[in-house]
Amino acid sequence: MHTVAILAYDGMSGFESGLAAEIFGMTELSARFSAGLKRPWYSVKLCAEADELRLLGGATVRTAYGLSDLADADTLVIPSVRDVDDPVSAELVDAIKTADARGARLVSICSGAFALAAAGVLDGRKATTHWIYAEQLRQTYPGIEIDPAPLYVDNGRVLTSAGCAAGLDLCLHIVRCDHGVRVANDVARRLVISPHRAGGQAQYIETPVPEPATDGRIAAGMAWALEHLDQPITLDELAERSALSRRSYLRQFAKATGTTPIKWLIGQRVQASLELLESSDLSIEQIADRVGFESAVTYRHHFVRQIHTTPSDYRSAFTGS
């Protein structure tokens, strides 16, 4: 099985230690999708420097797995660090370096980026963390390109995310990359979370909870667009469907989602194409047309920008052809 090792430490919260385990620990999905999984499902290990940990709130947790198990895992998840002002322990740094030398996948959530940074694996790479810590991370590790805006950054083998809730988006993104859209959507449904929030979506939104009337209008326009992705959709049409002027629509959409209508629409078209690439024999040109891109060239351009590979290579990874 693909081993996912999650770091735990004395004083961390149950949410931090459990969010990755909740997603990667859904072993029943391996039976449901066993015939179609790209690779074996995950085996989760909670790893710590001590045998017994006290979680925030008074709970005590015992684990049989230590940093040697963390170093040997296929995927390492560092949900956070105890204190961004304290140095990362030499033992944890060594474990991360050992895993990196083996080619393991390295994942940080929230302040966990400080641990990856201390091990040097983020040097020369783009990374993110919770926006509160972004400037401190930049000053402490100037060799890293810190971007405080996105929910998560995927560098291929090294992935970082914003605050803890964004870790759910990143873990779901990993499931999607490993096993495809169908499996990731099933995980999202079980957790009752959004099946996809693009990594480039802003982690800080001006109005986290928009006014109900405005939010309903924006939602109505978005729902209509999702039902008509195979058709040309203009900004004016979206505004009209939301019963707002073009100017008001742009402003309210940004407040509600943290992005622009066109960027959102492009992202939805790309996401809609993934299942077609995985499960159909349609050509790239046919898929581009079916999800509303004006040409295969435009489709490939936006696909590479979002998925960091070509549609053909993405299809090959799932079909082996």
83-107: pLDDT as tens digits: 999 999 999 999 999 999 999 999 9
Summarised one tens digit per residue, pLDDT across range 239-295 is 999 889 999 999 999 888 878 999 999 999 998 998 899 888 999 999 999 999 999
Tokens found for residue 62: 């015992």
User: Residue 211: inside a domain, yes or no?
Assistant: no
Using DSSP bridges, classify how beta strands 126-127 and 145-146 pair: parallel, antiparallel or unpaired.
parallel
Confidence bin at 207 (pLDDT 50/70/90) = very low
Secondary structure class of 237 (helix, strand, coil): helix
Summarised one tens digit per residue, pLDDT across range 161-203 is 998 888 998 999 999 888 888 888 888 888 877 665 655 554 5
Calpha distance 79→112 (Å, rounded): 5
pLDDT of residue 208: 35
Label residue 13 left, alpha or beta by phi (over 0 means left) and psi (-120 to 50 means alpha). Answer: beta
pLDDT of residue 34: 63
The residue-averaged pLDDT of 227-233 equals 92
258, 321 contact by CB (below 8 A):
no
Percent of the chain with pLDDT over 90: 61
User: Residue 273: inside a domain, yes or no?
Assistant: yes
Judged against a pLDDT cut of 70, whether residue 213 lies above it is answered with no
Residues 187 and 233 reside in one and the same domain: no
Residues 159 and 243 reside in one and the same domain: no
Tokens found for residue 214: 């405005």
Calpha distance 11→219 (Å, rounded): 40
Domain count, the chain: 2
pLDDT of residue 185: 82
Residues 159 and 35 reside in one and the same domain: yes
pLDDT of residue 205: 38
User: Residue 126: inside a domain, yes or no?
Assistant: yes
Calpha distance 187→104 (Å, rounded): 23
Residues 154 and 292 reside in one and the same domain: no
Judged against a pLDDT cut of 80, whether residue 81 lies above it is answered with yes
Residues 96 and 140 reside in one and the same domain: yes
* Domain range enclosing 223: 217-317
User: Residue 207: inside a domain, yes or no?
Assistant: no
Residues 237 and 128 reside in one and the same domain: no
> Following DSSP, what letter does each residue of 122-185 receive, concatenated?
TTTSEE---TTTHHHHHHH-TTSEE--SBSEEE-SSEEEESSHHHHHHHHHHHHHHHH-HHHHH
Please compute, for residue 8, the number of CA atoms within 13 A of its CA located in the half-sphere on the CB side: 31
Confidence bin at 36 (pLDDT 50/70/90) = low
Percent of the chain with pLDDT over 70: 88
Instruction: Check which CATH number belongs to the domain holding 243 and give it.
Output: 1.10.10.60
Residues 253 and 135 reside in one and the same domain: no
106, 115 contact by CB (below 8 A):
no
> Following DSSP, what letter does each residue of 266-308 receive, concatenated?
HHHHHHHHHHHHHH----HHHHHHHTT-S-HHHHHHHHHHHHS
pLDDT of residue 274: 87
pLDDT of residue 320: 57
Closest CA to 137 of 108, 99, 166: 108
Q: Which residue has the higher pLDDT, 144 or 38?
A: 144
Calpha distance 188→182 (Å, rounded): 10
The residue-averaged pLDDT of 64-81 equals 97
The mean pLDDT of the chain is 88
H-helix or E-strand spanning residue 76: strand 75-78
